[in-house]
Amino acid sequence: MKMRLSSDRIAQGLGVTEESIDAASDVELLGSSEATIVSIVEMYLAMKKTSESETFRYIEQLRAPAGRGNMPPAPTLRTYLRYRLSVEHSHGAPISEEILSSSVDEVRNFFKKQARATIEAEAAHRGAPTLEKLFGPKPSEEELEREDLLQILTPAIVKGYRRIAAERGCAPGTSISDADIIHIYCLVNKAFGRVAEARGEDLPWKFVNNIVLIFLQKYQMFGPTVFMSHLDYEAERYLTHGLRAEYARLLDLR
């Protein structure tokens, strides 16, 4: 951000200085062009196992509340960033190609270092839980059927989400079967529940209900491949950074 300040006459005219950037709140920084770049590149890297077309379609849905435009056909990371910056930050000075490239490289390097540090920490502390140890293999249909408690609660869970979908006009829609709802509930509950246990936290059931609703929406919009990729990403993020504020909301299925 400080690098860009020298070429942003609008910011200079508003009295923005390096000192004011240092003193800015998190909320103010999150509204910057640089924060937009970090957010998009982070999600792009997290979804490396997904096709680029699905990745950009998913990111576009997430950023739609900030505005929409004409997304370039078959975008690359750089052309997509250019497009989103033109939509979300049209009021500021354009970011030069040099600054954009430098910003992308810095974000990539940051997450590479973070991943390397995590691997080294796990190697140094062999008893420390890894994601593989925490989650294990995805549950099979047979394993799901053996969960007696879930079998008892299944009608209430399905009925609750169907009611919420009718009231809010959200997922689960008709494309998601009752069995899908329970399967998704199990996957999300297992992923987030084991991370909560590893962090020594108590994850309220009504938080889980809300998290499942969010993931039902993702499943309906983007399908199982993106859903699984994003579930892995969000569980890992919870493990390292804590629960997102949007997840920590109570949802009663009754």
By the 8 A CB rule, do 16 and 5 touch?
A: yes
Domains of the chain, by residue range, sit at 2-120, 129-241
Considering only CA atoms, which of 68, 40, 49, 61 is closest in space to residue 222?
61
Rounded to two decimals, the pTM is 0.52
Amino acid at 152: I
By the 8 A CB rule, do 62 and 43 touch?
A: yes
The first and second tokens of residue 111, run together, are 């997450």
Confidence of residue 132 (pLDDT cuts 50, 70, 90): very low
Q: How far, CA to CA in Å, does 13 sit from each of 8, 89, 95?
A: 9, 17, 17
Confidence of residue 23 (pLDDT cuts 50, 70, 90): low
By the 8 A CB rule, do 227 and 219 touch?
A: yes
Confidence of residue 26 (pLDDT cuts 50, 70, 90): low
Tokens 């033109």: give the residue. 86
